[in-house]
């Protein structure tokens, strides 16, 4: 990641209250993503069909889709905000940013929608 993108992301977050750069979030951003304990009982059972309960959790943590519970994206070195899907196709450096001043979305509902094949981009947008 380039210094320019980090600086632009800092400026962008300053101009857009409630947003934080990933490097400014204490203890990382793991808590902003769906955790095993937050899965619906149905989703946990689906992972448990091939594994015991302990193995199901480990398998999900290794291979499962961890959906973000808040809006997020990237501030690229061109100073623009991009959703995760849009940013991945670009050849730009960027800094990830999260909307951290809002209530988190219903993560179990989002996970169930994802497992049913609903269109999600992993960024809760």
Helix (H, G, I), strand (E, B) or coil at 49: coil
Is 65 domain-assigned?
A: yes
Task: List the domain range (segments joined by +) for residue 38.
Answer: 3-115
Is 122 domain-assigned?
A: no
Is 108 domain-assigned?
A: yes
Is 124 domain-assigned?
A: no
The total number of structural domains that make up the chain: 1
Is 123 domain-assigned?
A: no
Give the angle 70-113-52 at the CA atoms, nearest 5°: 95
| pLDDT tens per residue across span 92-119 | 889 999 999 865 545 445 545 544 443 3
Most confident of 22-26, 44-48, 75-79, 121-125: 75-79
Is 120 domain-assigned?
A: no
CA proximity to 22, closest of 92, 89, 70? 70
pLDDT band at 16 (very low <50, low <70, confident <90, very high): very high
pTM higher than 0.85: no
Kindly tell me if the per-residue pLDDT of 13 is higher than 80.
yes
Is 110 domain-assigned?
A: yes
**Mean per-residue pLDDT for 59-83?**
91
Q: What percent of the chain has pLDDT over 70?
A: 75
Q: Are 98 and 28 in contact (CB under 8 A)?
A: no
Is 31 domain-assigned?
A: yes
Runs of H (alpha helix) within the chain: 3-15, 41-48, 53-63, 84-88, 107-115
């Amino acid at each position: 990641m380039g210094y320019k993108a980090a600086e632009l992301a800092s400026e962008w977050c300053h101009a857009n209250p409630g947003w934080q750069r990933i490097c400014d979030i204490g203890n990382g951003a793991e808590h902003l993503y769906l955790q095993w304990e937050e899965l619906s009982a149905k989703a946990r059972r689906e992972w448990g069909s091939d594994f015991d309960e302990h193995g199901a959790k480990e398998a999900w943590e290794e291979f499962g889709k961890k959906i973000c519970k808040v809006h997020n994206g990237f501030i690229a070195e061109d100073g623009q905000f991009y959703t995760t899907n849009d940013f991945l196709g670009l050849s730009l450096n960027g800094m990830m940013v999260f909307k951290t001043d809002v209530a988190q979305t219903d993560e179990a509902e989002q996970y169930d929608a994802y497992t049913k094949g609903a269109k999600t981009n992993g960024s809760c947008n």
